Amino acid sequence: MNDTEQLVKDALGKLAERTPHPGPTLNALRRKRKQQRSNIFLIATAGVAAVAVLIFAGVIASDRYAPPTGNDAAAALVPGNGQGVVALKYSPHWLPEGFTETLRAVNPDGTTARVWTTPSAPQVDAPRIELDSGLDYKGELAEWQDAAVRGLKARVQVSGTSAVVEWKAQDKLVVQVVGVTDPKETALRVADSVRADSNVTFQAPFKVKDKHANEFKGTSPGDWSARLSPAPVDVTVFSATPDFSGKKTEPVTVRGKQGVVLDGRAVAVQEGGVWISATSTGDRSVQDLVAAINDVTIAPNLDTGWIGKK
């Protein structure tokens, strides 16, 4: 066994053990979005939709409504710039103590999700707060109850230690909380604190040809992973040295250097300070996986500073 294979055997899974399970978020993002009704607010001179959410939320933390500035409106209207940067558009200004951001995800149609967790545990049912934009909540925790978010009509579901608040501004917004005491009160307080934010973005850490990563998660700026999925080949770029313990591996040439084939279904290689892996979700060959990794371009200015912040 060579040094590269030993490194690969020594550690992939460290990050997975500590980061939140992405299933609930990604399942929601992958659901087909319902057709939204036309917005009645129009900017006559430009012929484009105005950002109504900014009128009710503004970019300030007070409870007073305020109209947006021109720059804020423009930022919220543009979902992406073609360079793997997507405007997330909204931020909560209140979270319970101990929650920090650990995941951001986007869809090509502009729907987005952000997740905050506590350092305690990565399980699916561990404490989690999620803010979704543009998504229709499909879950059925319980019967909907009428509610209000900053004077706007809203509805809430509560079940055990989980709650969901859904309301409509310029976009449909959903706050989900899991594993907290007083879930209804927590969810409504988080929702009340949500404001338009022209500065928060999803910046894809890599792309495969012209397709950018759509999921970015981690526990700290130095401990993260990003993924492009779903696709015939799932491609992941991550910071932790992988661990393929107990798996059958063999060497393979990829990106002009030696990488590792795992059980004939995955390929991994180190590139500078990160690792790149490709996994078949169907009947793709090792050559297909190698080709996918060869097509990866790492973002030159990788932004991980948001990971682990409130």
Burial 85-118 (b: 16+ CB within 10 A, else e): bbbbbbbbeebbeebbbbbbbbbeebbbbbbbbb
Tokens of 218: 């981690």
C-alpha span between 222 and 220 (Å, rounded): 5
Are 131 and 280 contained in the same domain? Answer: no
Are 170 and 219 contained in the same domain? Answer: no
Given 202, 225, 257, the domain boundary residue is 202
* Reported pTM: 0.76
C-alpha span between 307 and 297 (Å, rounded): 21
Query: Counting Cβ atoms within 10 Å, is residue 54 exposed (0-12), middle (13-18) or buried (19+)?
Result: buried
How many domains does the chain contain in total?
Answer: 2
* Residue 45 confidence (pLDDT): 23
Say which CATH number the domain at 117 has.
3.30.200.100
Are 166 and 213 contained in the same domain? Answer: no
* Per-residue pLDDT tens digits of the chain, which is 310 residues long: 444 333 333 433 333 343 444 445 545 554 433 333 322 222 222 332 222 222 222 322 333 323 333 333 333 333 445 678 999 999 999 999 999 999 999 988 889 999 999 986 556 668 999 999 998 787 777 899 999 999 999 999 999 999 999 999 889 999 999 999 999 999 999 999 999 999 999 999 999 999 999 999 999 999 999 999 877 799 999 999 988 788 889 999 999 999 999 988 899 999 999 999 999 988 899 999 999 999 999 999 889 999 999 8
Do the domain assignments include residue 23? no
Do the domain assignments include residue 183? yes
* Residue 124 confidence (pLDDT): 61
Nearest alpha-carbon partner for 226 in 235, 8, 264: 235
Are 268 and 217 contained in the same domain? Answer: yes
Are 76 and 173 contained in the same domain? Answer: yes
Given 139, 168, 202, the domain boundary residue is 202
Cβ neighbour number for residue 211 with a 10 Å cutoff: 15
Using CA atoms, how far residue 131 sits from 23, 115, 134, 191, 228, in Å, is 15, 7, 10, 9, 21
* Residue 281 confidence (pLDDT): 83
Given 179, 202, 225, the domain boundary residue is 202
Are 193 and 217 contained in the same domain? Answer: no
At position 48, the amino acid (one-letter code) is V
Are 219 and 95 contained in the same domain? Answer: no
C-alpha span between 32 and 15 (Å, rounded): 29
Are 73 and 151 contained in the same domain? Answer: yes
Tokens of 35: 């057709």
- DSSP assignment letter at 296: E
* Residue 14 confidence (pLDDT): 37
Omega before residue 230 within 30° of 0, cis:
yes
Which H helix or E strand runs over 173? strand 172-178
Are 56 and 9 contained in the same domain? Answer: no
Please provide the DSSP assignment of 85-150 as one string. Answer: EEE--EEES---TT-EEEEEEE-TTS-EEEEEE-SS--STTSSEEEEEESPPP---SS--EEEEET
- Which domain, by its residues, includes 62? 39-202
Cβ neighbour number for residue 62 with a 10 Å cutoff: 9
* Residue 125 confidence (pLDDT): 67
Do the domain assignments include residue 24? no
Are 182 and 234 contained in the same domain? Answer: no
Are 213 and 96 contained in the same domain? Answer: no
